[in-house]
A and B are shown apart, each in its own frame.
Chain A
Amino acid sequence: MAHDSGSKTFDVKAMLRDERFWKIAFQVITLIVVLLLLSFFLGNLNRNLIQQGRAFGFSFLRNPAGFSIGESLIQYRPNDPYWQALMVGLGNTLTLVVGGIVLTTLLGVVAGVASFSKNWLLQKLSRLYVGLVQNIPLLLQLFFWYFAIFGALPRPEAQIGVLGLAFLNNRGVYIPWASSALLAILGIAATVGAAIAALYLWRWRTKIRIETGVGGRPQSIALAVVGLAWLAIITVGMNWTIPQGIEGGGVTGGLRLSREYVAALTALVFYTSAFVAEIVRAGIQSVSKGQWEAARTLGLNAGMVMRLVVFPQALRVIIPPMNSQYMNLTKNSSLAFAIAFPEIYSIATTTYNQTGRPVEVFVVMMATYLTLCLVITVVMNQFNRSVQFKER
């Protein structure tokens, strides 16, 4: 028998009986199968492309696109190259996604919190909204908003003015806006900056008041200064232009949000918010009843119980699934092509149709959506870390 521990004999039977061997062997086999399948599909693709006389490559992206695009953040002319057309599409996708994420968060949280309201009507409305919207396909909702709601607006000749500040017609929505793109960016930056500054000042002030029981006056003054500065920038600095109705239909000045954009944004926000509302509701329900009761015992009113005690604890449960809803919103934004919003999927389908290069264009599209979703994940993971329990 070769059971001598010092012997170097390779015992096959012993190896076959060893669980560790099999664990590794199965991983190797799985990997080989996956690689073989992949090489088979790629090889098949390559053969078929060669058979049809087409070689894989991205140089076509430098050719002039030749089609026009309805709306664009950046300068674009029809003789610009395909990659620039795709950038226009990406810009339009981003406006939809960023606007969608902000509005979805607001509406979703409100709807989720409302389902705990003592107000009967508010509570029922919240439940009805979630139940209805969650169970209808998004594509259907897009068509509904585009054709039934915004399509029912009057033609430009009979457009609706809202307090002389905004206009609605079946071409889109016209709102007051900064007179130049640069000012608009400055205004948005100022708003975000002021919000962050205010948040930190508020926290600082609360901390001092908790620790010392008094004071916080300098911080209060700083808060007021930030608020006033922001107000001044927004009201005076933006050089607002107000849309003006033209005799016989149409609007000049202000910012035009196309009907395609408004309908896509509305549909995406209403659809995703229903899911967010359920996540928020689940998060709030996960906070134990004792926390509610303890907060009440301290004499806090219903709003304060929610804002100071329950919601911060619910956030720990809410943030991770919110990440996946934001990613869903990003991916679902591609459906807006069905209602003629020129986002990146729409531009990409036009591109592969005119160039006959679906494989290359799909690779570009997949990379784009993957990047967008990864960026969202990274940001949300950072945020998630900041709200988790800090062990002391």
Chain B
Amino acid sequence: MRKWGFLAAALGLTLAACGGGTTTNTTADGEAAPAGGGRLDVVKGRGQLICGVDGGIPGFSFVDESGAYTGLDVDICKAVAAAVLGDAEAVEYRRLDSTERFTALSGGEVDMLSRNTTWTISRDTSVGLEFAPTTFFDGQGMMVRTDSGIADLEDFAGKAVCVETGTTTELNLTDQMRQLGVDFEPVVFQDADAAYAAYDEGRCEGMTSDKSQLVARRSTLPNPDEHTLLEVTMSKEPLGPVTTNNDSSWYDVVKWVTYGLIQAEEFGITSENIATFEATENPDIARFLGKEGTLGTDMGLPNDFMVKVITQVGNYGEVFERNVGADSEFGLERDQNALWSEGGLMYSPPFR
């Protein structure tokens, strides 16, 4: 009798395995996405957005004193959650290091990345990612000790540079030094915390990363005044949210929520004055806020998704100033990150 039971169990398992073989789109979570719906339906069904962040960069994604995630990257996650689920707090954050991020995304562990990720052609094509609009235009910089006497990259001959692995900065550094013919020693860390710790105690003369990250990280070093950024920009680093290939409905949502933040600033709609646009006469704004047309529902979102985003998160300008700009400890200028109408690069295609 016991043997029969075992046999039945084994047969059951076999059948389950056969049955499992016919399902498609099985993600790492074991969530089977319904045909055609993709990630958007998974997120709606779960009632929560899983967002991959760095978690260690003040101003971009950092855990504050109260234990909550804050920063520019985090606010993008919140904006998407507000648009899709109506609640900016319905986000679960996953801290990912630079080597884990793409496998976590393509394996389906996270719905999207908002993690200082540089948009490059190889990541877009061969790595299989989709890049939503850039939320922060950056460039690669080099941080050194003020008393080191290093003024430019040529001074790094025979010296060591700490860098985080799996980043574009690792490749750009190699290219720049090759071009200059400078023989330097790379010290490559997988963990950003370890890299900055090694730089701080003197293993490396230089630490290279995106400038915004260097400025933010410098504020967490024991003596921030002892470090300066060299006057070099080694590369273009457009940073933005990322989704995985071949799921265009979900990619569209992330893309247009990001554009929506920029468009809201262009319209002059902020979290404070949004009530005044309630009875707007401007057809562009009425469409944007979902009073007219079906821009939201066409995308599978509530028609007033931008109202929820702006009320709960604000427009791009507010997000920038609050986290890294004038209202923050970093006080970064808008520069390239200003609206196109003010000489910057932030430009949203029309909401029409």
Contacts and interface: CB of A to CB of B under 8 A. Distances in A.
Determine if chain A interacts with chain B. yes
Interface of A: 22, 26, 29-30, 32-33, 36-37, 39-40, 43-44, 47-48, 51-54, 60, 66-70, 78-79, 143, 147, 151, 155, 170-171, 250, 259-260, 337-340, 342, 346, 349-350, 352-356, 358
A53 B190 contact: no
Contacts, number: 129
Interface string B49-63: 000000000000000
B246 A53 contact: yes
Contacts of A60: 126
Contacts of A338: 189-191, 194
Interface stretch (B10-18, B213-221, B274-282): B10-18
Contacts of A36: 14, 17-18, 21
Contacts of B185: 70
Across the A-B interface, give the 4 residue pairs with the lowest CB-CB distance, nearest first: A356-B127, A353-B166, A36-B17, A52-B128
B36 interface: no
A348 B202 CA distance: 27
B21 A40 contact: yes
B242 to A, nearest CB: 12
7 contacts: A36-B17, A36-B18, A69-B186, A151-B198, A339-B194, A349-B190, A354-B122
Contacts of A48: 26, 106
A43 B21 contact: yes
A214 B18 CA distance: 78
Interface in B196-233: 197-198, 201-203
Interface of B: 3, 6-7, 10-11, 13-14, 17-18, 20-21, 24-26, 98-99, 102-103, 106, 122-123, 126-129, 158, 160, 162, 165-166, 170-171, 173-175, 177-178, 184-191, 194-195, 197-198, 201-203, 244-246
A358 B177 contact: no
A125 B6 CA distance: 54
Q: Which of A22, A354, A358 has the most CB of B within 10 A?
A: A354
Given A48-B106, A67-B170, 5 more contacts: A44-B26, A52-B128, A143-B194, A151-B203, A171-B203
Given A40-B21, A52-B128, A33 B14 contact: yes
Nearest to A350: B165
A234 B197 CA distance: 41
A151 B175 contact: no
Given A32-B14, A358-B103, A350 B201 contact: no
Contacts of A78: 174-175, 178
B14 to A, nearest CB: 5
B127 A355 contact: yes
Contacts of B165: 346, 349-350, 353
A37 B17 CA distance: 6
Nearest to B189: A340
A67 B21 contact: no
A218 B21 CA distance: 75
B21 A39 contact: yes
Q: Which of B174, B188, B198 has the most CB of A within 10 A?
A: B188
A70 B21 contact: no
Contact of B201 (A39, A143, A147): A147
Nearest to A43: B21
Q: Which of A66, A67, A78, A259 has the most CB of B within 10 A?
A: A67
Contacts of A151: 198, 201, 203
Contacts of A170: 201-203
A350 B167 CA distance: 8
A342 B190 CA distance: 11
Contacts of B21: 36, 39-40, 43
Nearest to B173: A68
A356 B123 contact: yes
B171 A67 contact: yes
A70 B190 contact: no
Nearest to B183: A68
Contacts of B202: 155, 170
A333 B13 CA distance: 38
A182 B332 CA distance: 55
Nearest to A150: B203
Contacts of B123: 356
Contacts of A37: 17
Contacts of B201: 147, 151, 170
B3 A22 contact: yes
Contacts of A250: 158
Given A66-B175, A353-B98, A147 B166 contact: no
A40 to B, nearest CB: 5
Nearest to B26: A44
A356 B102 CA distance: 7
B126 A355 contact: yes
